[in-house]
Structure 1
Amino acid sequence: MSKRPIRVIQWGCGLMGQIMIRYLRDKGAELVGAIDRNAARRGLDAGEVARLDRPLGVRIRHPEEADAVFREARADVCILCTRSTMPELVDSLKLAAHHGVNAITIGEEAFYPWTTSKALTEELDRLARSSDCTLTGSGFQDVFWGNLIAVLAGSTQRITRIQGLTRYNADDYGSALAQKHGIGLDPETFAARIGASNAPSYVWNSNEWLCARLGWRVRDIRQQLLPTTHTEALRSTSLDREIPAGHATGMKAVVVVETHEGPVIETHCEGKLYAPGEVDLNEWTLQGEPETTVTIRKPATPELTCATVVNRLPQLLAAPPGFITTDRLDMAPHVTRLEVAA
């Protein structure tokens, strides 16, 4: 059977999108469209923006031209590296589904939005089914907050509690994420604007994904959103300003899930500006019989996020139509070539 490269539209060409473009090229995919809201990137060749050794012949276009990009590209899939929440992502996902193009996003809520954005997700599910395409969310959490823990659970006789800690540099993901994490806010403003919010944090959705994967039913779920601070001023490159000492350098989300089956999942998620010496961290403990702790110090979080999405693409194309969260798919495989039957 003859094969051809998977044809991809990259929507969002910041740090994450640039890594995606490089990884897609390395695995033989064909970039057929690129979209970005940053005026400084508009009109540039995607290969130039991603610092490849040659241009790709794909000009980056503004989101206002997105419909034309989809009409002209004849893409198999769109990768979204833009925003975090379903209300922010829904229009882009609808556009992809309208054109019958499969879409995968690193937007964190999309990892498991069935309860936090129920109506939007069900609407997208219906639209994708009618257009015979698949929509999903993936990224770092797919492996390191999800499938890794599920694998460890499979080797555990009895689980009473799962405790997770993940930490990442909020400056790696652009100004939109920095603002959502409250970077630069004084303590009172953070408490009013971020701490009092009922918006689900990233590990809210990943905890629900983990329950779905393990067959546990959620009895109660609650969260706290707390500021991180530093004793000295830190500079934010994504916001292009200095953050005074004592002001929020980011956000720590603590989410606790109690299940009907008994086990409790408690996750601590820290996204903040790093002081000297701080690094990314992913650490999980499964308490019970036996107790197991796995610590991954200094994971390359942006690169791991992008590699997971790229490796998911063949599964995305083979999945049933609809909004299909990855708890319903096999674990992400390692893929050497991004090809589809011609």
Structure 2
Amino acid sequence: MTEPKIRAIVWGCGHMGQIIIKYLKDKGVELVGAIDRNVSRVGKDAGEISALKRSLGTFIHHPDEAKQVFHKANANVCIISTRSLMIDIYDSLETSARHGVNAITLAEEAFYPWNTSPDLTQKLDKLAKEHNCTLTGSGFQDVFLGNLISILAAGTHRIDRIQAIIQYNIDGYGSSVAAQYGVGLSVEAFKQQISGYTEPFPSWYMNEWLCAHLGLAIRTQKQEFWPITNIKTIHSTSLKTDISVGSVTGMKAVVTTETEKGVIIENQVLGKIYTPDEIDTYECTLVGEPTTTLTIHRPATAQMTCASLVNRLQHLIDAPPGFVTTDKMQPPNYWM
């Protein structure tokens, strides 16, 4: 049986959206709409500003014109790559749902928002069911901090602790991410503005997803932040400025989850502006019987993030209506 043609709207045409547009075209997906609030991109051909660097005949519209885009596009998928929190992407998810269009987002909180934004998630769940469509979150965490760890767990007799450590260059993700990591602040300002931050860090949702997937009830959960500085000046392309010696170039964020069964999940993220000799890293260790460590050398984090989402599209379409987190879907797989 031939799968229905995927007709996609991309909402957010920044760095990640530009990669996604290329991956969609490579997979034979028809791009029928593009939305972005950056005035420098509005009105331009989505293909020309994407990693494809060629015209597709689909022009970028401002979010103020989103309803018109959905009305004309006859899309069955909307891909949202704008912000991180449910409150910030609610309007785009709501617009998709009201038009009966399945939506998938890179927003970290959408990966598992049931505990942190229950009211918004339940409203979207109800709306999606009313309009017979599915909403979900995916990305790097879906594969590498979720399902891959679950597969490793399936080959382990006893798990005492799960520890994931990733490092990535935040300079390719825009000025809002750099600001979230405190780039450019003094160490003292970081301690005042970031260290006591109570909004859950993205790893918070990832740990909650993993607990739900493995059937582990959460007893306690905490997060801690430490500034990262450098001994020489570093240029930030996202902020378009130099970060002076001693100023913050990023941070180490650690989310630790203690479960009722005694299993500890620790997720460490080191996000910073790179020096020329630094690379992305990924390491996951399951401590127990046996202890297993999986290391990926120089992971292409941005590309893996986008590929993980695109490879989820058919699962999104096949899922039941509602807000369905991917712990309730089949494991991700490669899509030809």
TM-score by length of 2: 0.98
Residue 127 (structure 1) shift: 1.2
Q: Does 1:234 align with 2:239?
A: no
Residues in 2 aligned to 1:87 and 1:263: alpha-carbon distance in whole angstroms: 31
Q: State the match for 1:15 in structure 2.
A: 15
Residues in 2 aligned to 1:292 and 1:51: alpha-carbon distance in whole angstroms: 37
Residue 139 (structure 1) shift: 0.3
Render the CA deviation track for 1:177-223: whole Å, top value 9, x for unaligned: 11111111111221222111101111111011111111100000001
Residue 3 (structure 1) shift: 5.0
Residues in 2 aligned to 1:7 and 1:46: alpha-carbon distance in whole angstroms: 15
Residue 87 (structure 1) shift: 1.1
After superposition, residues 277-288 of structure 1 pair within 5 angstroms as 277-288=277-288
Residues in 1 aligned to 2:31 and 2:252: alpha-carbon distance in whole angstroms: 36
Q: Does 1:330 align with 2:335?
A: no
Residues in 2 aligned to 1:109 and 1:228: alpha-carbon distance in whole angstroms: 24
Counterpart AA for 1:284: C
Q: State the match for 1:185 in structure 2.
A: 185
Q: State the match for 1:340 in structure 2.
A: none
Residues in 1 aligned to 2:121 and 2:185: alpha-carbon distance in whole angstroms: 32
Residue 2 (structure 1) shift: 5.3
Residue 244 (structure 1) shift: 1.3
Contact 2:19 2:51 in 1 (8 A): no
Counterpart AA for 1:159: I
Residues in 1 aligned to 2:52 and 2:269: alpha-carbon distance in whole angstroms: 33
Residue 324 (structure 1) shift: 0.6
Question: What SS class does the counterpart of residue 295 from structure 1 fall into?
Answer: strand
Residue 232 (structure 1) shift: 1.2
May I ask how many residue pairs the two structures share in their alignment? 336
After superposition, residues 120-199 of structure 1 pair within 5 angstroms as 120-199=120-199
Question: What SS class does the counterpart of residue 33 from structure 1 fall into?
Answer: strand
Q: Does 1:59 align with 2:59?
A: yes
Counterpart AA for 1:295: T
Render the CA deviation track for 1:80-133: whole Å, top value 9, x for unaligned: 110011111111111111111110001111111111112111111111111111
Residue 53 (structure 1) shift: 5.8
Question: What SS class does the counterpart of residue 284 from structure 1 fall into?
Answer: strand
Question: What SS class does the counterpart of residue 55 from structure 1 fall into?
Answer: coil
Residues in 2 aligned to 1:4 and 1:94: alpha-carbon distance in whole angstroms: 24
Counterpart AA for 1:233: T
Q: Does 1:308 align with 2:308?
A: yes
Change (3 A) 1:258 1:235: same
TM-score by length of 1: 0.96
Residues in 1 aligned to 2:53 and 2:300: alpha-carbon distance in whole angstroms: 23
Counterpart AA for 2:28: G
Q: State the match for 1:265 in structure 2.
A: 265
Residue 326 (structure 1) shift: 0.5
Alignment RMSD (CA, Å): 1.1
Question: What SS class does the counterpart of residue 312 from structure 2 fall into?
Answer: helix
Render the CA deviation track for 1:111-158: whole Å, top value 9, x for unaligned: 111111121111111111111111100000101111111000000000
Question: What SS class does the counterpart of residue 5 from structure 1 fall into?
Answer: coil
Percent of aligned positions that are identical: 54
Structure 1 unmatched runs, 5+: 337-342
Residue 251 (structure 1) shift: 2.0
Question: What SS class does the counterpart of residue 189 from structure 1 fall into?
Answer: helix
Residue 239 (structure 1) shift: 0.8
Render the CA deviation track for 1:212-269: whole Å, top value 9, x for unaligned: 1111000000010221111111111011011111111112111110000111011111
Counterpart AA for 1:242: D
Q: Does 1:40 align with 2:74?
A: no
Counterpart AA for 1:12: G
Higher relative contact order (CA 8 A, sep 6+): 1
Residues in 2 aligned to 1:120 and 1:248: alpha-carbon distance in whole angstroms: 34
Shift >3 Å, 4+ stretches: 1-4
Counterpart AA for 1:312: R
Residues in 1 aligned to 2:177 and 2:27: alpha-carbon distance in whole angstroms: 29
Question: What SS class does the counterpart of residue 222 from structure 2 fall into?
Answer: strand
Greater CA deviation, 172-181 or 156-165?
Answer: 172-181
Question: What SS class does the counterpart of residue 75 from structure 2 fall into?
Answer: coil
Contact 2:104 2:136 in 1 (8 A): yes
Residues in 2 aligned to 1:190 and 1:287: alpha-carbon distance in whole angstroms: 33
Q: Does 1:255 align with 2:255?
A: yes
Counterpart AA for 2:314: P
